[in-house]
Structure formats: structure tokens, C-alpha cells
Structure 1
């Protein structure tokens, strides 16, 4: 513990600017691919979630005292965007307004 306190309070060392720049460069070179990979995995998970939500079928049917009630959820839409179109069928033709 005494040695740790001695290192903590020691002000006799110096830091080379070259060493600092070299360490930061290596750190940044390592961070950039890591963040890009993280981004790719997050986008992939969003896509997997979208496909899972698209495949949910909420159709039902039941009979009570001879009366049948049913609902057929036959949505045939897909989550694919049209070629050369706005993403997710967004309407981008709204005129801008002055604020």
C-alpha cells in the first residue's frame, strides 16, 4: 500500500509527446473497426427484429353457442423498400415550410 501511495504522489516522471501520440494512434486504429463492427451487428439485429415482427400472425377464430367469430390477418406487405424509392414508404414530397 505504501508503494502504491508513493507511485500516486510521485511527480518526478515525464511523458514524451511522441509516446502519447503513438499510443493514441494505436488506440484510435483499434477503436474504429470495433465501432464499425458494433454498428453492423446492431443494424443486423434491427433487421432480425423487423422480420420477426413481420411474421407475427394475429388471426383468430372462436365459436360460442353456435356463433362463429373469426379474423384473418392476411397482410401481404413486406418490409422491402421499392427500388429507387423512399425508405419505408416515407412521403418525401411534403413542401417545406418557413419557420
Structure 2
């Protein structure tokens, strides 16, 4: 039985195909995650620049009481 299992190559092609597909998926995931990381860093940079450009100087002169003429 062990000799038959050792000489059996029917599952080899399936295993090789699975390894190839898994390798391609992992490479695709690595590239995709790298692009996501680049996009997140770019967006955070844009947010940081937008916060840095905020104008916080708010001026309110208020109301003026006019003098009575009488």
C-alpha cells in the first residue's frame, strides 16, 4: 500500500496547479496591498496638507452702540 501511494502521481498535477494558483494569488495580494498602502499614504498626506492650510483667524467686531442725540 505504501509503495502504491509512493508511485501514485495522480494528485501531483492537482497539487502543482494549486501551488501555481496560490502563488499567483499571493503575488496579486502583495501588489494589491502595496497599492492600497500607497493610496492611503497619499490620502493622509492630502488631509495633512488640508489641515495645515486651514485659516483659523476668525474676527468678529461685534455691535456698536451709537450715541443718542438728545
- Which range, TM-score by smaller chain? 0.5 to 0.7
Equivalent residue number for residue 53 of structure 1: 51
Flag the structure with larger Rg: 2
Structure 2 unpaired stretches of 5+: 1-10, 66-70
Larger RCO, structures 1/2 (Cα 8 Å, 6+ apart) = 1
Pairs aligned (count): 53
* Whole-angstrom CA distance in 1 between matches of 2:52 and 2:59: 21
* Whole-angstrom CA distance in 2 between matches of 1:62 and 1:25: 64
Equivalent residue number for residue 27 of structure 2: 29
* Whole-angstrom CA distance in 1 between matches of 2:27 and 2:58: 54
Per the normalisation by structure 1, the TM-score is 0.48
* Whole-angstrom CA distance in 1 between matches of 2:29 and 2:58: 50
Q: Give the deviation of 1:43 after TM superposition.
A: 0.5
Structure 1 unpaired stretches of 5+: 1-13, 67-99
Whose helix proportion is higher, 1 or 2? 2
How well do the aligned residues superpose, as a CA RMSD in angstroms? 1.8
Whose strand proportion is higher, 1 or 2? 1
